[in-house]
Structure formats: C-alpha cells, structure tokens
Structure 1
C-alpha cells in the first residue's frame, strides 16, 4: 500500500514540473510575442546625452547645490570630482625665519549624473541659473527605436524556433544544445532592450564647472639657511677672533718646527760664507 502511494506521489510531482515548465515557456512566448509587436515600440526610443561647461563663483558650493537638485529631480550622481590646478607659486621673505607663500590656482569640478529624461530641460535651466557664465552647452539625441524593434523581432523568432525544436526533439539530435544557444541569444537581446529602456528613461548629463583663479596666502618656514646666519657686525667680530686664533696656531706650528728653522738658518750662513770666500780667491 505504501509503495502504491509513493508511486502516485512521484507521478504527481513529475506532472506538476512539466506543467510549471510549460507555463514558464508559455509566459516567455507571450512576452516575446508582445515585445515583438509594433505597439510595444510605438514610442520613440531616444537616448538623450547632455554636456555643459560653465563658470561659477564657488565650485564646492555649486557642487552641493547640484547634488541636491539632482536628488530633487529624482536622479542620482554617478561620478563627481573636485580638484585644484596650481597655476603659479612664489615665495617672498616675511621674516627672518618665515616666508610668505603665494599660490595662484584654479578650482574645477565635474559631476556626471542620471536625470529623468522628461525633467532634463528643467534641470538644465536650474544649472544655468547657478552659472556666472556658460562656456558650452550641448544635447545629443540617439534614436535606438530600430535597434529596439530589431531585438524584439529577433527574440520573437527565437521563441518560435525553440518551440519548433521542442516539437521535433529526440535523443539522437543536438536540438537541446541549439535551443540553449537560441535562448542565450534571446537573453542577450532582452538585456540590450532593457538597457535601452534604462537609458531612455534616465538621461546622462556631464557638468564641468570652474571658478576664477584664486590667490592663497600662507606663511611657511624659511628653508634658506643663509638667512639664519648672524648679523654683519657679529660676523665681523667673530672673524677677528677667529683670525687671532689662527695666528696663535701658526706660531705654535713654527715652534714645533724649530729644528728645521735652525738647520735652514745654519745652511744659509754656510752658503753665504762659502760664496764670500770664493769671491776673494777669484779677486
């Protein structure tokens, strides 16, 4: 009796699995057929990309305002950078042990954001109000309607091809592998269309902004060792003292060489005496 119940349970599970698989395939088929219909892509699949470059009074303050405005419009910041480019640096004497460092730099910022396409114009108008001067502003429209329709129709053909392969499937053929390849292509095309939908819904805008050159003043330590030497009068007196020390050392050196000095003197007198004597003989 127990074996009989177990047999019926296994049969029921197998039937339920087949029905679930058929329902999933039926759902994919219906979705592909609907996606491939002309009504699905009746609206234009246009991707908007905007760029702006403008001058502002304060880069950091504008960056914060942009972040808030993007959130208010329902968008999100994808990337942002703020950097300072040094244009020129000079150091002037401030005191004996310090220097005044003058640095001229330009602060620049960049924000890359995704904004709902239907609110892109309103957002760009807000950005223009933050700018002191707009250097450049552009908008690019990329129509992906044909690519979207092409992917949808190809997916419809793929589903129909898989259905035909399933009807004529047998153990000796390679229909299973072929069906898997077609399903993988179906997934790729579906993801491509979802990516297009995402880009159509949210436009990408790149904002480059900068402020006027700024001069920063900073007192830093003096690294020129020459400025740390004593004053002229002190150095003059120290030179006299140092000369007297050198003179005394020279005298001490001569006293250590008294033997050589004595020999040199004796040699000089001997040479002089010999020279006189030679002159007298010659006369």
Structure 2
C-alpha cells in the first residue's frame, strides 16, 4: 500500500510538470525586452531570446530487490532501452559477522555474513521519466522511498543568454586595441561569453535528460570459503621429529648445567672447607 501511494504521488507530480512545460508566460517577450534594455541590448535581440520554460527534473529511488547484481544488470538494460545512459554504477558488499575454524593443518574454513548493495546514477529522457520510474518500481520487492525534485532553471537560462549577448555585443562594438590593456579586457569578456554559452547548453541538457539516483540492497547472504592458514604457530615438524629434537635439547641442557657447575668449583671448595671446620668443632669440645 505504501508503494502504491509513493508511486501515485510521484506520477502526479511528473504529470503536472509535463503540463507546465507545455506553455510559456504571456509576458515572456516584454520581460526579455526589458531585461535586454538593462544590458544595453537591442530590443529585437532581447525579444529573440524569449522567456523559455526550463524545467529540470531529478528523481531518487531506494528499494529492496531479490538479487542486487541481477537487479543492477536489469536496470542498466532498461535504461539503454529507453535511450538513456548509466553515468555511475557501484556494487559493494558490506561484511558483517565473521567466523573461522581450522579444518586442516594448512586450511581454514571462513564463514562471513555479507550485505550486498548497489548505487546507480542514470540519465533518461525527461519525457520517459514516468515510464522509467514505474518499470523500476515493478522490479522492487519493497520500495523504501521515492523522491522527485523539480527545479525551474528558466531565469538562470535567460540570465546566461543575456550575459552572453551583452558581452558579445560589447566585443563587436568596441574596436580591438593594439597591445594595450583593452586586449586583456576583451579576452576576459570573450571567456565569460563562452562560459555563459556553456551554461545554457548544460541547462538544455539537464532539461532533456533527467537524472535518477537509485540505491538497491537485498537480504544478507552467507559466504563460505576455504583460505590458507596464515597462523605460523600452527605449522611445525611431525611428532617423531619433535620428540627426537626434545631428547637432543634435554641432553644439551644437561651438559650446559654441568659446564655451569664447573665454573663454580672455587665456591664449592670453600663451602666444603667451611663444612669440615664446622663438623670438627663439636669433636674438639668433647675431647677438652
């Protein structure tokens, strides 16, 4: 029910925008002439600019799908079928819980919970935005959110046009100087006129093509894999070799102790003499 309400609101908004693009304000020509006069443009030049309606539509969808990879591939095919393009596509899997255990001396079984997701940015023809939104929504298990943004770029387009015409008119009316400060000014005006022309083209492109951002995700999946055991303490020689090594190290340790005692012979000699003197004292007292 929530999905149907979201889709109904989105479609109603898109339809209203399509109707709005079908007409231009009645005072378009007069407003353009007035604006042109402010820039010092001829009245017929400003009127030629008109006051076109430039509506830029963008949308966003966040939804749950059965398979992120298959859903991304399907949406990309749908975009191409509508004559659009995919400008950004990112597939990722966020790892969650993790567990591993040794299954052999050199192998480890790893179990990981992953959360696949995808982010897409596509551009479709504006007149087919409604069709695209419906088609994508039909592929969702659950539509979390659907958004539509309408941006009226009419004034920005008109401003860029008038600025371009003003600078081009100034360049035509002002003769070029011979290696003076005026040359730098003319270059700056020419560059600004080019920037304004590019701004108009960018607005025209945004009007013709709607940008849609999509976020897809699915239920977590368990990934099983066998990896090489990188714990160096788990590696070593077999039991027989280790047992023989233990005997050899024990004998070597015993010999080391004997060598250490050999270094202590003066202390042992003094201790023995002191013990003999101590034993001789009771016998001497008894004879007295």
**1-side partners of 2:247 and 2:173: how far apart?**
112
Partner of 1:110: 119
**1-side partners of 2:80 and 2:43: how far apart?**
37
Q: Name the larger-Rg structure.
A: 1
TM-score by length of 2: 0.66
- Tell me which of 279, 283, 287 is aligned to 1:276: 283
- Tell me which of 111, 116, 127 is aligned to 2:136: 127
Partner of 2:58: 49
Equivalent pair of 2:68/2:117 in contact (CA under 8 Å): yes
Partner of 1:89: 98
Deviations 1:235-270 (A, max 9, x none): 9x8899689848975896699689776775565344
Alignment of 1:201-220 (within 5 A): 201-220=208-227
**1-side partners of 2:218 and 2:107: how far apart?**
30
Partner of 2:47: 37
Deviations 1:210-259 (A, max 9, x none): 1111111112334456666799x989x88996898489758966996897
TM-score by length of 1: 0.67
Equivalent pair of 1:36/1:149 in contact (CA under 8 Å): no
CA RMSD of aligned residues (A): 4.2
Once the 2 structures are TM-superposed, how far is the Cα of residue 273 of structure 1 from its aligned partner?
2.3
Partner of 2:73: 64
Q: In the alignment, is residue 100 of structure 1 matched against residue 86 of structure 2? A: no
Partner of 1:195: 202
Q: In the alignment, is residue 79 of structure 1 matched against residue 93 of structure 2? A: no
Deviations 1:90-142 (A, max 9, x none): 11343454332110111111111111100111111111122111111100000
SS at match of 2:47: coil
Distance 1:262-1:37 versus aligned 2 partners, 3 A rule? same
Deviations 1:1-58 (A, max 9, x none): xxxxxxxxxxxxxxxxxxxxxxxxxxxxxxx98874378444x210011111111121
Partner of 1:148: 157
Distance 1:33-1:60 versus aligned 2 partners, 3 A rule? farther
Partner of 1:12: none
Q: Which moved more, 1:67-76 or 1:176-185?
A: 176-185
Once the 2 structures are TM-superposed, how far is the Cα of residue 196 of structure 1 from its aligned partner?
0.9
| Contiguous gaps of at least 5 residues in structure 2 | 1-41
Partner of 1:13: none
